[in-house]
Structure 1
Amino acid sequence: MENQLFPVFFKLNRLHVLVVGGGNIGLEKAQAMLQNCPESNITIVALDFLPELEEIARRYPNVELIRKPFSCGDLLGKDLVVAATNDHALNYTIWEKAKGSKVLINVADTPELCDFYLGSIVQKGNLKIAISTNGKSPTVAKRLKQVLQDALPDTLDDVLNKLYIIRDKLKGDFTAKVKQLNNITDVLVKPNH
């Protein structure tokens, strides 16, 4: 079956994410979110935390560490949940409670329990490309990330900024503006002669 995922980009500064797990997986997920949005609102619940997570909580004011076992009340006011423990039974319990609370959840390394995936991300300034293999091979996604990161020029953000200025100065209705922008950017997709 082909990949039927619908890609979206969350504004994590407007949402509240719960991460359950203070070990390597929780650290990896928190770092990924903060790398993409340093103003992410993240609450991490665990019995113990890696020193790196404690450092993150000191550096990022919107990251809160709560040292306690997971409970249903942790889901209150949360928009997304990441179950990042190495305890499969606990991860399943978190999944059950999240589904009962209508909160979207990602259970690390358990694709069948995920409402969403945290894909590999390529970023060049304001351009952000997310890569998904539908949970089949995160390794392939990481390799493609490397290829695209190297292939896309660093000056791409300058192009985006200039096109943004041009777009604001264009006259006409939406259709006319789209046509003009398509003509301007046609050079980006034409093969070199």
Structure 2
Amino acid sequence: MEQNHLFPIFLKLDQLQVLVVGGGNVGCEKVGAILNNCPAARVTVVATWFAPEMAGIVEGFPNVTLVEKPFSCGDIFGKDLVIAATADRDLNYCIWEKSKAAKVLINVADTPALCDFYLSSVVQKGNLKIAISTNGKSPTIAKRLKEVLNESIPEGLESILQHLHAIRDRLKGDFSEKVRKLNELTSVLVKKD
């Protein structure tokens, strides 16, 4: 059976420089996803034109820069992540080539073979964030699982997280002892009736 061997990580996009190439529907979707997850993300969007929705998506986000021009190799300089989100397959491939040559991680929208990373479907309840990946096989399944998790995770979980954080800070003992005590306290969350 095939396995998903992706390594899940959470990136601090407010500490990285992100380039999105493309100002159409896909570019809007990617920029919106980035800002929904990290409003302080530092994003540069390069495109020869921008869909009218893009202005609304980036309004109120001073760390987002829209640059209306064709993509050039220099756009990658100083960037940590690149997302190619154009409707032009040849241009997306060119962006992939330039990103790989610059050793910058890249995601080419709707082209899993040219992706170093995928943007996941995300469930968020306060400080709890769960990323869902189908290894590029079915974003629709990820979307449905997101709906299920959103409905089943209680809204009050943020309060529990805050209390556990305060308890963790007051616990005495070595790391193993702290983990044991926290596991004991949180066992109620996974007990079956």
What TM-score comes out, normalization by structure 2 length?
0.98
Q: Kindly provide the CA deviation profile for residues 146-178 of structure 1, in whole angstroms up to 9, marking residues without a partner as x.
A: 000000000011111100000001001111100
Q: Which residues of structure 1 form unaligned runs of 5+?
A: none
Partner of 1:30: 31
Q: Which residues of structure 2 form unaligned runs of 5+?
A: none
* 1:15 Cα offset (Å): 0.5
CA separation in 2, counterparts of 1:115 and 1:53? Answer: 25
CA separation in 1, counterparts of 2:59 and 2:148? Answer: 34
* 1:54 Cα offset (Å): 2.1
- 1:18-167 alignment runs, 5 A limit: 18-167=19-168
CA separation in 2, counterparts of 1:118 and 1:58? Answer: 22
In structure 2, what residue type is equivalent to 1:137?
Answer: S
SS in 2 for 1:13: helix
Confirm or deny: 8 A CA contact 2:17 2:78 kept in the other structure.
Answer: yes
Q: Kindly provide the CA deviation profile for residues 15-49 of structure 1, in whole angstroms up to 9, marking residues without a partner as x.
A: 11000000000000000000011001000000001
* 1:91 Cα offset (Å): 0.2
CA separation in 1, counterparts of 2:59 and 2:149? Answer: 33
* 1:108 Cα offset (Å): 0.2
SS in 2 for 1:28: helix
Q: Kindly provide the CA deviation profile for residues 64-88 of structure 1, in whole angstroms up to 9, marking residues without a partner as x.
A: 0011110110001100000000000
What TM-score comes out, normalization by structure 1 length?
0.98
* 1:122 Cα offset (Å): 0.4
* 1:127 Cα offset (Å): 0.3
Confirm or deny: 8 A CA contact 1:45 1:68 kept in the other structure.
Answer: yes
In structure 1, what residue type is equivalent to 2:63?
Answer: N
CA separation in 2, counterparts of 1:55 and 1:155? Answer: 31
Confirm or deny: 8 A CA contact 2:20 2:43 kept in the other structure.
Answer: yes
Alignment length, in residue pairs?
192
* 1:59 Cα offset (Å): 1.7
Partner of 2:189: 188
Confirm or deny: 8 A CA contact 1:84 1:107 kept in the other structure.
Answer: yes
Q: Kindly provide the CA deviation profile for residues 108-149 of structure 1, in whole angstroms up to 9, marking residues without a partner as x.
A: 000000000001000010000000000000000000000000
Relative to structure 2, which stretch is displaced further, 46-55 or 156-165? 46-55
In structure 2, what residue type is equivalent to 1:135?
Answer: G
Runs of 4+ residues over 4 Å off in structure 1: none
Confirm or deny: 8 A CA contact 2:28 2:57 kept in the other structure.
Answer: no
After superposition, the CA RMSD in angstroms is 0.7
